[in-house]
Chains A and B, each alone.
Chain A
Amino acid sequence: MAKITMREAISQALMEEMDRDPAVFIMGEEVGVWGGTYAVTKGFYDKYGAMRVKDTPIAENAIIGGAIGAAMVGQRPVAELMTINFGFSAMDYIVNQAPKLHYMFGGQFTLPLVIRAVGGGGRQLGATHSQTPDAVFAHFPGLKVISPGTPEDAKGLLKSAIRSNDPVLFIEHATMYQVRGEVPEGEYTIPIGKSKVQRAGKDLTIVTYCKGLELSMKAADELSKQGIEVEVVDLRTLRPLDMEPVIESFKKTNRAVVVEEGWKSYGVGSEIVSRIYEEAFDYVDAPIIRVAQKEVPLPYNRTLEQAALPQVADITAAVKEVLK
């Protein structure tokens, strides 16, 4: 096992898939000459050239719409949204076209396209640039939505996403590119739509993903020192959602906290909690609590922004509340 950063993991996945399949190409703003705003595609332009690493104009509709078209005629584009917030400028393509076309035309063609998008708050970028709107996108059948929390998962899942014949939204977190983790040597993929227990425990189940995983693992360490052993289940893919490991864990612990960075209302947590009540009601020993972002647009001021974002302390407090 090698220890690499999230940035390296994503970069490796892209490079391996580009080397493996000539149909794979990248298009997005500043992915080429600049090397990617988060330096994920650094060196790609020199290695693959302008035809396979396309610096686009600032034109999100042309990027996502263009990727859809290229995918329909047999290529495998990886389109990049500099941030997921700019996806709102191309919302029609992401939620109203890509997820519908295969179905609506009776499966005549496929859309093997990946949209990589950087999401998340915590960088003082203000209300329009800091969102974690994953739940919005996960609402739409026909779109696959992945949001990994470890380098291993990021690499394996991105490779699967590129090989998938369906449109996939792959959401990365702006503050997690330096996160380090072990990655298997050599070629591997991780299946889309499989949740995973990232930490075993017996007292309570934390269900989370992406940034929430980073926070939850820290919370689990702290709780462990206090004699509380939580099990952490990482969703990894939001749609299609795999509830099996969640339900299995819950049947064991009978208690849960759901952690996400996005807003609580109509969020990922809302979905998870409903599903637990629907599928394991007889096992519920205590109300399930959601830890999420305060219901405000994120402010620029650092103290205020941090106060709005979920913190490790919010998770430990929620766990203790549920265990009370």
Chain B
Amino acid sequence: MKKEQQLDLYRQMVLIRRLEERGAELYQQGKIGGFMHLYIGQEAVSTGLIAAREPRDRVITAYRDHGVALNCGISANEVMAELLGKATGMSKGKGGSMHMADTSKNMWGGHAIVGGHLPIASGFAIGDQYAGNDNVTICMFGEGATNIGYFHEALNIAKTWNLRVLWVCENNQYGMGTTVERASAVTDIRQKAEGYGMKNGQVDGMDVMKVYDAAKEALEFVRKNSQPYLLEIDTYRFRGHSMGDPERYRKQEEVKKWQENDPIGIFNKQLLDKKIATRKALDEIEARVKEEVAKAVEFAEASPEPALEELYTDIYAD
């Protein structure tokens, strides 16, 4: 990968981190409401994954979607504005944290019903197959979502109908407070693809370049063979499930141990060790991101609330 692109991936990861840190503060101040699920700790997953896609490939994910939105090229301004429920958000303030989408950037949303978007992802691939193109649908979900029927129905039909879907399971070890072991018959989630005769793989989700390489390979397989693929990406969320999670279900030592493997720290070190970037260059990225986030907050706070009439728009298309 070219130096510039690597630095851009670093920028994206830092942007997700800083934007969400500000988001958490704004939530504490009551400026953001509802459920807000932070991606902090998992930045390398969607950053590496989405860097590997062609612009024509569709992305769909669950409610933990701020990072995915930014990686897909949605601006920090719009993400922040949607978090604050403003008219300038990409969903006009009607969706909030869990429902970020910009279909012009092939980001088909944050979806809040666990597993509910998986059959829809199959549907994207049905539509693309019908249209005769070779777009791939990248469908991201947590390991907890692999225990619900939606997952199994979607995988089965994808394999049976030769659909171009890259199923990406972000295994962050917990579904809310429930560990993989307590909820899933197999803890290597990729094994679930075996039952459907589906090709699968597994990769360390704390290393953005490893994620990128695995995703490139998987996407190529899907596109070439017109076959689905399940990629399990192992990761960890550093924060609670959502804001206000008392985190009684895990020990702080466990969190600390994973934090030593901070995906941003790892990538930072790689870039320095391989002499791809100087410390100064990385500091500059950090400074620019800080400014971008500050501007986004300014933009969002200055943006208007959606008009009351918006209550009645977009209910029907006709």
Which residues of A are interface residues toward B (Cβ below 8 A)? 29-30, 33-35, 37, 55-61, 85-86, 89, 123-129, 294-297, 299-304, 307-308
Contacts and interface: CB of A to CB of B under 8 A. Distances in A.
B93 A301 contact: yes
Given A30-B178, A60-B148, A128-B113, A300 B183 contact: no
A61 B149 contact: yes
Contact of A57 (B96, B116, B183, B315): B183
Contacts, number: 113
A181 B310 CA distance: 38
Contacts of A308: 311
A58 B114 contact: yes
B178 A33 contact: yes
Given A123-B34, A124-B34, 16 more contacts: A29-B178, A55-B182, A59-B147, A61-B148, A86-B113, A89-B148, A126-B96, A126-B98, A128-B112, A129-B35, A129-B112, A296-B315, A297-B315, A300-B99, A304-B93, A304-B310
Interface residues of B, number: 40
A147 to B, nearest CB: 22
A83 to B, nearest CB: 10
Nearest to A37: B176
**Across the A-B interface, the 8 shortest Cβ-Cβ residue pairs:** A300-B96, A57-B147, A124-B34, A124-B33, A301-B85, A34-B177, A57-B183, A299-B94
Contacts of B177: 30, 33-34
Contacts of A37: 176
Contacts of A300: 33-34, 85, 91, 93-97, 99
B130 interface: no
Central interface residue in B114, B145, B305, by most chain A CB within 10 Å:
B114
Nearest to B82: A300
Q: Is the interface of B mostly helix, strand, loop or mixed?
A: loop
B248 interface: yes
A128 B96 CA distance: 12
Contact of A58 (B34, B94, B175, B305): B175
Contacts of A86: 113-114
Nearest to A50: B182
A308 B311 CA distance: 8
Given A35-B248, A299-B93, A126 B112 contact: yes
Contact of B147 (A33, A58, A295): A58
B113 A89 contact: yes
A86 B177 CA distance: 18
A123 to B, nearest CB: 7
A37 B150 CA distance: 23
Nearest to B30: A302
